[in-house]
């Protein structure tokens, strides 16, 4: 399967596995709490998802410099998703993070997390998690002329097309 910036999103949707549950605001108090993250990242699937590229998506598309996308974050971890994000304390206790996640969920809907194993990117020379994450970030950038809204990571990986082994 050849993947380019023009079809990367359909590749993400069809080949990335989605963790159960969604990060959503508690309807009773309308504020994000640690439990909202734990119900996603404390699952068996999140504990078993290691050496992966992962994507955070909200339900509705967010306007970007160019176009719209519901992808809000692209990341990677050699540890499990549980190890990387299981402790949600900083996400809900930091004023900036609390505001950011609350605003995203209030305006664009609950957040889902999906992932794919690094092996799917074996066509990249000397594939590492960083190069695979960089490729995903580049595809996003090519479509929107900016990175996902909560990504701080930038990339120097700039392959125009990849043959994926999925």
What span, in angstroms and rounded, lies between the C-alpha atoms of 87 and 90?
Answer: 8
Which of 135, 42, 20 has the alpha carbon at shortest distance from 88? 42
> Quick one: which H or E segment has residue 73?
strand 68-80
CATH number of 2-163: 3.40.1440
Q: How far apart are CA 27 and CA 20, in angstroms?
A: 19
pTM to 2 decimal places: 0.88
d(CA 51, CA 6): 26
H/E element, 60: strand 50-63
Residue 28 exposure: Cα atoms within 13 Å on the Cβ side = 2
pLDDT tens by residue, the chain, 166 residues: 788 888 889 988 899 999 999 999 866 567 788 888 999 999 999 999 999 999 999 999 999 999 999 999 999 999 999 999 988 766 777 888 888 999 999 999 999 999 999 988 776 555 789 988 998 999 999 999 999 999 987 777 767 766 666 6
């Amino acid at each position: 399967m050849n993947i380019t910036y023009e079809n990367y999103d359909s590749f993400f949707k069809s080949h990335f596995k989605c963790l159960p549950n969604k990060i959503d605001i508690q309807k009773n108090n309308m504020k994000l709490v640690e439990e909202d993250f734990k119900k996603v990242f404390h699952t068996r699937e999140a504990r078993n998802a290691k050496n992966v590229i992962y994507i955070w998506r909200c339900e509705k598309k967010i306007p970007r410099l160019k176009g719209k996308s519901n992808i809000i974050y692209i990341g990677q971890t050699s540890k499990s998703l549980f190890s990387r994000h299981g402790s949600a304390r900083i996400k809900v206790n930091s004023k900036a993070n609390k505001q950011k996640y609350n605003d995203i969920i209030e305006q664009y809907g609950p957040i889902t997390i999906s992932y794919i194993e690094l092996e799917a990117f074996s066509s990249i020379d000397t594939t590492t998690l960083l190069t695979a994450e960089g490729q995903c970030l580049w595809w996003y950038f090519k479509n929107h002329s900016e990175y996902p809204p909560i990504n701080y990571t930038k990339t120097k990986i700039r392959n125009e097309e990849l043959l994926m082994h999925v």
